[in-house]
Structure 1
Amino acid sequence: MNDTELNHASHPQIVKRLKRAEGHLRGVVDMIESGRPCLEIAQQLHAVEKAIAQAKRTLIHDHLDHCLEGVSGPLDRQQRRSVDEFKEIAKYL
């Protein structure tokens, strides 16, 4: 595989989401260093975690949709349903 095969349509969206999370994380560090209340810090950390988890979920779903199908060929309806079910259950990992 070359670099262009590794880039998917969702990658710019994922990068944008991760950069936003990076900015929020820097903000959390600043909050801790400036002595902000723990509740506020915990709320912001939760937001960072959610943003990263969503980026990971998007990446995994994109991989299943494109890379897996690229190896196996087009999926029939039953196979597609199995992949969709796997994507749904993967959110609990």
Structure 2
Amino acid sequence: MTDHDPKLLNRLRRIEGQVRGISRMVEEGRYCVDILTQLQAIRAALGKVEGAILQDHLNKCIEGAITSGDTADQRAKVNELIQLLERSR
């Protein structure tokens, strides 16, 4: 994860700030639609972070297992990916 760490950490810090902002909005009794809009923005931002981390995993870990020729590692990585995808349903 070293290639994307600074960018991902910046994104996560922005998301963290957005979450704090939503907390303030709720405390202040702001309009529900405004809060929901911000929640949707956070969900989209988290989706982008998740996609970047998944892409990195595919490019490094999965590809590394494939090119290593280690059948046990290949099976382990595939099973890991399947479990991850099943949890996201």
Q: TM-score normalized by structure 2?
A: 0.71
Correspondence for 2:38: 44
Separation (CA, whole Å) in 2 of partners of 1:10 and 1:53 = 15
Alignment partners' CA distance in 2, 1:8 and 1:22: 21
Q: CA deviation at 1:15?
A: 1.2
Question: Relative to total residues, which structure has the larger helix share, 1 or 2?
Answer: 2
Q: How many residues align?
A: 71
Q: Which runs of 4+ in 1 moved over 4 A?
A: none
Q: 2:60 aligns with which of 50, 54, 66?
A: 66
Give the CA RMSD over aligned residues.
Answer: 1.8
Normalised to the residue count of structure 1, the TM-score between the two structures is 0.68
In structure 2, which of residues 24, 29, 37 is the aligned counterpart of residue 30 of structure 1? Answer: 24
Q: Which whole-Å deviations, capped at 9, do the CAs of 1:1-31 have from their partners, x for residues lacking one?
A: xxxxxx3301221111111000000000000
Structure 1: gaps (5+ residues): 1-6, 75-89
- 2: distance between equivalents of 1:67 and 1:13? 20
Unpaired runs of at least 5, structure 2: 69-84
C-alpha separation in 1, matches of 2:25 and 2:53: 30
| Structure 1 contact 28–41 (Cα < 8 Å) conserved | yes
Match of 2:49 in 1: 55
* Percent of paired sites with the same residue: 34
